[in-house]
Amino acid sequence: MQPFQIEIPDSHLADLRQRIGATRWPSAVDSGPGWERGVPLTYLKELASYWQEEYDWRAAEREINRYPQFTTEIDGAPVHVLHVASAVPGARPLLLTHGWPSSIVEFLDVIGPLTDPAAHGGDPADAFHVVVPSLPGHGFSGPLRAPGWDARRIAGAWAELMRRLGYDSYLTAGGDWGSLISLELGRLDPGHVTGAHLTMLLTLPSGDPAEMATLTEEDFARLGKLSRYDAELSAYLRLQSTRPLTVSYGLTDSPVGQLAWITEKFREWTDSAKTPEDAVGRDRLLTNVSVYWFTGTAASAAQLYYESAPALGALFTPGARPEPVPVPIGVAAFHGDPVTPVRAFAERDYPSISYWSEIEKGGHFPAMEQPRLLVEDIRAFARTLIA
């Protein structure tokens, strides 16, 4: 485990500003300010101008560098990790895993409350040692140059990471890929994983009419959102699952292309009304995009979809049943997420679910959108594991 600090060269910052200034903008159809056709041209131009002229990467860099960071190699891949130990005696280890198009930036607002509850109006008994790795191929854990890194392999690497950090037991949590990897960790390392807290869980109807007869109006609304996701919001998934390299050329060469690719997801997946900034602060959004840009990991991050395509296909196959997860599972259903789970289907597929919460505010990135609510929910789930 080698100590690490983020130090992006000044020349890379200058290059970013130059590239934004040299952007060749498309001639967009005059469709107004709506997002139906993608990120509106007027909005993206203004956001890119802010990124070029006003956004302060050095401030973001200093914020991240306040936390102890390390790099190591696991199974041939570079792994970057924030490891923030709590000063509270008896604190429990908590592994937080981000997804795509997210990064370690997703969890910056929850590290303090999780490691030092008393300083944030909480109970010291709820303290955690927090471990936040960058997914292989993402951010400072990249780029990857070898294939084969699917969710299960990452889970195996995380088990080894926690062993190297000296933790014999730990709680795992996350959303998006972080949820899928947390489930895999529960399968692969049940002797050390005490529980898995998820903010995303994909479940489908089995096709049995009797099962549908028991659903509530809210359940049907969630199935409607899932259908919209499948029909309209999942183009990125199909592209990155089949041709991840092709799209990566534009994302790696054009900062505005990378900005649009990620910003669209933050608009569609968050609990936002008009722009992603209704849910996530502008600087936070740009810090997340900047991590992808400065590390040049658009291509290697997209590979996770390609490598995991069979597993993703199974998740979207009605009637398919996942492998058992022999550890307690806690689910936080954030109502602003486009794939909010139906509880009856979730408990059918995952009998080890022992905790469930319904949270009205927040979407797919709750650690950025509603950090206080997420922290409270992780604490509540963790308490059930020692009750």
The radius of gyration of the chain's CA atoms, rounded to the nearest angstrom, is 20
Is residue 33 scored above 90 in pLDDT?
no
How much is the pLDDT for 281? 97
Task: Determine the Cα–Cα distance for residues 97 and 304; give it in Å rounded to an integer.
Answer: 14
Strands 128-133 and 170-174: unpaired
Q: What are the Cα distances from residue 265, in Å, to 224, 269, 276, 332?
A: 19, 6, 9, 20
Is residue 387 scored above 80 in pLDDT?
no
Domain enclosing residue 207, as ranges: 38-384
pLDDT band for position 82 (cuts 50, 70, 90): very high
How much is the pLDDT for 320? 79
Mean pLDDT of 11-29: 94
> pLDDT tens digits for 270-280?
999 899 999 99
Please report, as a single letter, which amino acid is at residue 82.
L
Whether residue 209 contacts residue 224, with contact meaning beta carbons closer than 8 Å, is answered with no
How much is the pLDDT for 207? 85
Task: Determine the Cα–Cα distance for residues 134 and 299; give it in Å rounded to an integer.
Answer: 15
How much is the pLDDT for 315? 81
Give the chain's domain count.
1
> pLDDT tens digits for 278-303?
999 999 999 999 999 999 999 999 99
Mean pLDDT of 127-151: 95
How much is the pLDDT for 318? 76
Q: If you count DSSP H runs as helices and E runs as strands, how many of each does the chain have, helices first?
A: 17, 9
The CATH number for 379's domain is 3.40.50.1820
Question: Over the chain, what is the mean pLDDT?
Answer: 96
Mean pLDDT of 177-204: 97
> pLDDT tens digits for 200-252?
999 999 888 999 999 999 999 999 999 999 999 999 999 999 999 999 999 99
Q: What are the Cα distances from residue 180, in Å, to 58, 240, 307, 308, 325?
A: 33, 17, 14, 10, 11
Cα-Cα-Cα-Cα dihedral of 186, 353, 304, 158, to 10°?
-30
Q: Which residue's structure tokens are 């730990």?
A: 170
Structure tokens at 260: 């649009």
pLDDT band for position 31 (cuts 50, 70, 90): low
How much is the pLDDT for 314? 83
7 within some domain: no
pLDDT band for position 6 (cuts 50, 70, 90): very high
Whether residue 201 contacts residue 346, with contact meaning beta carbons closer than 8 Å, is answered with yes
> pLDDT tens digits for 302-345?
999 999 999 888 888 877 789 999 999 999 999 999 999 999 99
282 within some domain: yes
pTM of the full structure? 0.96
> pLDDT tens digits for 106-117?
999 999 999 999
24 within some domain: no
Structure tokens at 236: 């990125």
Mean pLDDT of 22-45: 87
Rounded (to 5) percent helix, strand, coil in the chain: 50, 15, 35
The long-range contacts involving 148-153, CB below 8 angstroms and separated by at least 24 positions, are 148/307, 149/77, 149/303, 149/304, 149/307, 150/304, 150/307, 150/308, 150/311, 151/177, 151/180, 151/181, 151/184, 151/304, 151/308, 151/311, 152/184, 152/188, 152/311, 153/75, 153/307
102 within some domain: yes
303 within some domain: yes
69 within some domain: yes
How much is the pLDDT for 30? 65
How much is the pLDDT for 386? 84
29 within some domain: no
Active-site residues: which are they?
A: 176, 305, 364
Task: Determine the Cα–Cα distance for residues 47 and 332; give it in Å rounded to an integer.
Answer: 32
- Of 181, 122, 179, 121, the C-alpha closest to 333 is 179
297 within some domain: yes
